[in-house]
C-alpha cells in the first residue's frame, strides 16, 4: 500500500494515515528517497549542467507555479533517484525534464511524470540487469545497446521503456498514467499493441512486453466501452499482454479472472434484484484491494 505523508515545519517527511488534511500519497520508493534525503534544487541544477543539452529547462520546471507543490516534490525525489542511478542516460532525462517543463495541462504533466516514475520503479524493484540502461522514448530505426546485446524496436514506432531485465529478457513497456489514457491510446492507435506483439514474436524466448498504468486512480476505466468498442482490459486479455497497475502485476490469467469475476458479480446482483448501475458497481471497487473484497477474488 502506498504511504501518505506530510511535510513538517522542520522540513521532515512524516508518514500519516490516509485522509489526513494536507497529506499526499507517494510510492514506497519515493518515500525511501525522501527519507534518505533528496537533492536540493542547487544540487539538481548542478547535476543537470553536466551532459544536458538544455540545463535551464530544469530550473524552469522546478519554478513552475501552476503545478501543485506536492507534485513538484515528487518530481524532485524521482529526479534525485534517477540522477543517482547509472541506468538512465542524461539524454533521456533531459527529454523528460523538457517535456515536464513544457506540459500545458496537469494531465499532460502527469503522463510525462509516469514515464519517469516507471524506470525508477524498475530500479527500486531490482528488475533491471546491472549493466543495462533503461531507454525512455526509444525510436524505431535506432539501435540500442543493452548489456552486450544490440536491439532495435522495429516494427514498434516508439517505446516508453526499453531495457534488459535481470533474467536476461529484453522488455518493451507501454506506460500510461491512467487507465483512461491507455483506453484512449488503444482506440487512437490500435496497431501499437500488435506491433509490440510482432516485435516480441521476432525472438519470443528472449523478449517480453507489458502495459504499465502508473496510478490505480480510475483503474475501472479498463472496463469502459462505448457501443461497438472493446474494453481495454478485454483487448489486453485477448492479446495475451500482461498489465501492471501501480505496483500490482497482473498476469493474463489474473486479468481473465478479474474480468470473469466482474461478469459473475454483475449477474449475481441482477438475480438478487440488487443491481442499480455500472457507476455504483465500480464505486465499490475504487482500488484493487477493494476489488478483491467486493469480487471475492485474489489478484496476487
State the pairing for strand pair 24-25/158-159: unpaired
142 or 17: which carries more pLDDT confidence? 142
Name the β-bridge partners of 146: 149
Q: What is the extent of the structural domain holding 79?
A: 1-102
What integer pLDDT is reported at residue 270 of this predicted model? 96
Helix, strand, or coil (residue 231): coil
Question: Is 62 contained in some domain?
Answer: yes
Question: Is 198 contained in some domain?
Answer: no
34 or 161: which carries more pLDDT confidence? 161
Name the β-bridge partners of 163: 134, 171
Secondary structure of the chain: what % helix, strand, coil (to 5)? 45, 15, 35
Of the candidate ranges 5-9, 40-44, 104-108, 115-119, the one whose mean pLDDT is the lowest: 5-9
Question: Is 272 contained in some domain?
Answer: no
Helix, strand, or coil (residue 145): strand
**How many domains does the chain contain in total?**
1
Helix, strand, or coil (residue 178): coil
What integer pLDDT is reported at residue 199 of this predicted model? 98
User: What confidence tier does 7 reach under pLDDT thresholds 50, 70, 90?
Assistant: low
- Is the pLDDT at 63 greater than 60? The verdict is yes
Question: Is 53 contained in some domain?
Answer: yes
Question: Is 83 contained in some domain?
Answer: yes
Of the candidate ranges 11-25, 37-51, 242-256, the one whose mean pLDDT is the lowest: 11-25
User: What confidence tier does 1 reach under pLDDT thresholds 50, 70, 90?
Assistant: low
What integer pLDDT is reported at residue 12 of this predicted model? 59
Within the chain, strands assigned E span 4-7, 13-16, 24-25, 134-135, 138-139, 144-146, 149-151, 158-159, 161-164, 170-176, 207-213, 243-245, 248-250
What integer pLDDT is reported at residue 263 of this predicted model? 97
Strand ranges across the sheet with 13-16: 13-16, 4-7, 24-25
**Cα distance between residue 300 and residue 281, in whole Å:** 22
Contacts of 115 (CB under 8 A, 6+ apart): 96, 136, 137, 160, 161, 175
Is the Cβ–Cβ distance between 252 and 233 less than 8 Å?
no
- Is the pLDDT at 209 greater than 90? The verdict is yes
- pLDDT, mean over the chain: 91
What integer pLDDT is reported at residue 9 of this predicted model? 52
Question: How confident is the model over 65-105, as pLDDT tens digits?
Answer: 999 988 998 999 899 989 888 899 889 999 999 999 999 99
**Cα distance between residue 205 and residue 226, in whole Å:** 37
C-alpha cell at 117: 516514475
**Cα distance between residue 246 and residue 126, in whole Å:** 16
Share of the chain above pLDDT 70, in %: 97
What integer pLDDT is reported at residue 150 of this predicted model? 94
**Cα distance between residue 295 and residue 261, in whole Å:** 6
Report the predicted TM-score, pTM, of the whole model to 2 decimal places.
Answer: 0.88
169 or 124: which carries more pLDDT confidence? 169
Question: How confident is the model over 112-158, as pLDDT tens digits?
Answer: 999 999 999 999 889 999 989 999 999 999 999 998 899 999 999 99
What integer pLDDT is reported at residue 8 of this predicted model? 62
Question: Is 32 contained in some domain?
Answer: yes
**Cα distance between residue 111 and residue 214, in whole Å:** 9
Of the candidate ranges 5-9, 99-103, 135-139, 277-281, the one whose mean pLDDT is the lowest: 5-9
- The predicted model gives 57-64 an average pLDDT of 94
Helix, strand, or coil (residue 230): coil
Question: How confident is the model over 213-260, as pLDDT tens digits?
Answer: 999 999 999 999 989 899 999 999 999 999 999 989 999 999 999 999
User: What confidence tier does 14 reach under pLDDT thresholds 50, 70, 90?
Assistant: confident
**Cα distance between residue 198 and residue 143, in whole Å:** 17
115 or 28: which carries more pLDDT confidence? 115
- Is the pLDDT at 13 greater than 70? The verdict is no
Strand ranges across the sheet with 243-245: 134-135, 161-164, 170-176, 207-213, 243-245, 248-250
Question: Is 259 contained in some domain?
Answer: no
In the chain, DSSP finds a helix count (H) and a strand count (E) of 12, 13
Question: Is 82 contained in some domain?
Answer: yes
Give the DSSP H/E element, type plus range, for residue 4.
strand 4-7
Amino acid at each position: 500500500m502506498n504511504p501518505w505523508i506530510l511535510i513538517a515545519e522542520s522540513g521532515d517527511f512524516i508518514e500519516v494515515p490516509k485522509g489526513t488534511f494536507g497529506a499526499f500519497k507517494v510510492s514506497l520508493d519515493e518515500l525511501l528517497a525522501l527519507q534518505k534525503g533528496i537533492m536540493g534544487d542547487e544540487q539538481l541544477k548542478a547535476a543537470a549542467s553536466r551532459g544536458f543539452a538544455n540545463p535551464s529547462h530544469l530550473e524552469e520546471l522546478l519554478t513552475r507555479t501552476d503545478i501543485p507543490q506536492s507534485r513538484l516534490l515528487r518530481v524532485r525525489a524521482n529526479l534525485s533517484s534517477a540522477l543517482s542511478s547509472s541506468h538512465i542516460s542524461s539524454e533521456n532525462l533531459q527529454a523528460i525534464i523538457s517535456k515536464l517543463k513544457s506540459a500545458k495541462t496537469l494531465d499532460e504533466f502527469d503522463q510525462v511524470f509516469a514515464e519517469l516514475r516507471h524506470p525508477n520503479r524498475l530500479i527500486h524493484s531490482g528488475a533491471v540487469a546491472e549493466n543495462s540502461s533503461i531507454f525512455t522514448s526509444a525510436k524505431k530505426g535506432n539501435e540500442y545497446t543493452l548489456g552486450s546485446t544490440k536491439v532495435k524496436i522495429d516494427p514498434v514506432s516508439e517505446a516508453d521503456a526499453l531495457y534488459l531485465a535481470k533474467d536476461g529478457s529484453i522488455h518493451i513497456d507501454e506506460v500510461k498514467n491512467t487507465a483512461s489514457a491507455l483506453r484512449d491510446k488503444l482506440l487512437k492507435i490500435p496497431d501499437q499493441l500488435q506491433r509490440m506483439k510482432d516485435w516480441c514474436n521476432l525472438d519470443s524466448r528472449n523478449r517480453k512486453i507489458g502495459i504499465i498504468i502508473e496510478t490505480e486512480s480510475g483503474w475501472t476505466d479498463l472496463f469502459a466501452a462505448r457501443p461497438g468498442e472493446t474494453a481495454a482490459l478485454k483487448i489486453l486479455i485477448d492479446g495475451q499482454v500482461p498489465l501492471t497497475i501501480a505496483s500490482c502485476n497482473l498476469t493474463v490469467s489474473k486479468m481473465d479472472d478479474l474480468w470473469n469475476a466482474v461478469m459473475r458479480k454483475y449477474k449475481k446482483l441482477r438475480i438478487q434484484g440488487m443491481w442499480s448501475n455500472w457507476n455504483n458497481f465500480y464505486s465499490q471497487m475504487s482500488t484493487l484491494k477493494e476489488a478483491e473484497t467486493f469480487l471475492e477474488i485474489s489478484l496476487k
